Amino acid sequence: MSLVLIFFYVFGFLAIASAAFMLATKNVLYAAFGLLVTLLSLAAIFVLLFADFVAITQLMVYVGGVLVLILFGVMLSNQVQGRAVQSESVNGISGALVAGILFGGLAYLILSADYLYLEGINVADAAPVNTKSSIIAIGIRLITNFALPFEVASLILLIALMGAAYISTEDKHE
């Protein structure tokens, strides 16, 4: 068993355990920290799978942006009238039923998949994995082939940000 495989299992277990903790806890701040550990573990798994761009995007967008915003919101509103904010589960039975159906369906699809393309392939004879970073290729594609869609997406996000800033102001000009 290689060191990469050991790290993969460690980070996989950590991601699953922290996600289960996030779902089981009633304290909103603890749930946010469980989400932090889950997202960091997923970023580590992406690094182990040589998906550098996805790992950096995971860190910058989700951990660096969304999660920090959630943590600031929770920490600023954590003490409401002298008590910590608690979440209550109200649909535990129906949520467990939907999760069980989804798990069963995904397990059926994975176990019934046709893996004919793997027959007769010896792992030792397989070509080595390309360990070259994917960031350079993605950057070149974004600047050459996909420059216009990239700029259109950034313009749409800028318009959405301006709209959110306008909606959030209290003094609206009618």
pLDDT at 29: 81
pLDDT at 57: 87
Give start and end residues of each alpha helix (H) in the chain.
3-24, 28-48, 52-57, 68-76, 92-111, 135-143, 147-168
pLDDT at 14: 96
CATH of 1-80, one of 2.60.120.700, 3.40.50.1390, 1.20.120.1200, 3.30.750.24: 1.20.120.1200
CB contact set of 67 (below 8 Å; sequence gap of 6+)? 32, 35, 36, 39
- Which residue from 122, 45, 14, 98 is spatially nearest to 54, judged by alpha carbons? 45
pLDDT at 98: 93
Q: Where are the domains of the chain?
A: 1-80, 132-174
Give the pLDDT of the chain (174 residues) as one tens digit per residue.
788 889 999 999 999 999 999 988 888 888 888 999 999 999 999 999 888 888 888 888 888 888 878 877 777 776 555 566 666 777 878 888 998 999 999 999 988 887 655 555 555 555 566 666 677 878 888 788 888 888 898 899 889 888 877 777 766 555
pLDDT at 123: 53
pTM: 0.64
Question: Could you tell me if 111 and 104 are in contact, meaning their C-beta atoms sit under 8 angstroms apart?
Answer: no
pLDDT at 93: 87
Q: What number of CA atoms fall less than 13 Å from residue 161's CA on the CB side?
A: 6
Between CA 107 and CA 87 the distance in angstroms is: 30
DSSP-derived letter for residue 170 is S
Strand pairing report for 83-84 and 79-80? antiparallel
